[in-house]
Amino acid sequence: MELIKTKGCESHSEVVLILAHGAGAPADSPFMEELSVALEREGIGTVRFEFPYMQKRRLDGKKRPPDREPVLLEYFSGVIDQIRAELGSESMILVGGKSMGGRMASILASRQDGIDGVVCFGYPFHPPGKMDRWRTAHFPDLNCPMLVLQGTRDPFGKPAEMTGRERELDGINLRWLEGGNHDLQTLKSQAQTQSELISSAARDTRIFVDERLQA
């Protein structure tokens, strides 16, 4: 199983975040690369991997839709088992990812134990423009704390759209990043850049670990 590990995963393995990619971009996309570097600055090692459909794309260059959910979950679970075996019980293992990857991480955390926390960067609360298809039914079943870092311009879930869903979001730590879209990109008129929002997301992840998981 091909894994991309930051140096911090080896040197400070106390906290390691297994990061899954989104539906359309690979594990080494610019966003995932920059996020991994930002997390390492905060003392969080990362491990990235690619789902089977993305591995096939890398081999032949053909775009494919994501694998079916059971395939994604089984593969993700296998990565968790591998990292846990490598690091041992002393390490804190978090799971998360970009968009679809974060959603799969949260579903796993609602179905199995042994996961210390979930961190999602741009959670796909619903498909853009389809408010009748919310993807939060499993949130009450989470077996660990969960943090969502969400841009306020994200078409997959904006602040105003959370009204009326307080009950299902009650156990979730939802942190809004002002002006960010689904990739945390900002408008040219905004003072903060995408890189600054990614750094903020990494800092918030560190705070989440320190306050919710290590307290």
The continuous run of DSSP H or E covering 8 comes out as: helix 7-11
What phi and psi, each to the nearest 5 degrees, are found at residue 5? Answer: -115, 140
| Mean pLDDT, range 47-56, rounded to an integer | 96
Mean pLDDT value across residues 106-134: 95
Q: Work out the average pLDDT over 40-64.
A: 94
- pLDDT above 90 for 138: yes
Question: With the C-alpha atoms ordered 27, 115, 132, 53, is the resulting torsion angle positive or negative?
Answer: positive
CB-CB contact of 201 with 38 (8 Å):
yes
Give the residue from 120, 125, 202 showing the smallest Cα distance to 161.
125
Kindly report the pTM of this predicted structure.
0.95
Whether the per-residue pLDDT at 211 is higher than 70: the answer is: yes
Residue 195 has pLDDT above 60, yes or no: yes
Q: Determine the longest span between alpha carbons in the chain, in angstroms.
A: 47
Q: Are 116 and 83 in contact (CB under 8 A)?
A: no
Please determine, for residue 2, whether its predicted confidence score (pLDDT) is greater than 90. Answer: no
The closest alpha carbon to 46, from 60, 27, 26, belongs to 27
Asked if 202 contacts 35 with a C-beta cutoff of 8 angstroms, the reply is: yes
Dihedral Cα 149, 150, 152, 157, nearest 10 deg: -150
Summary mean pLDDT of the chain: 93
- The distance from CA 104 to its chain's CA centroid, rounded to whole angstroms, is 9
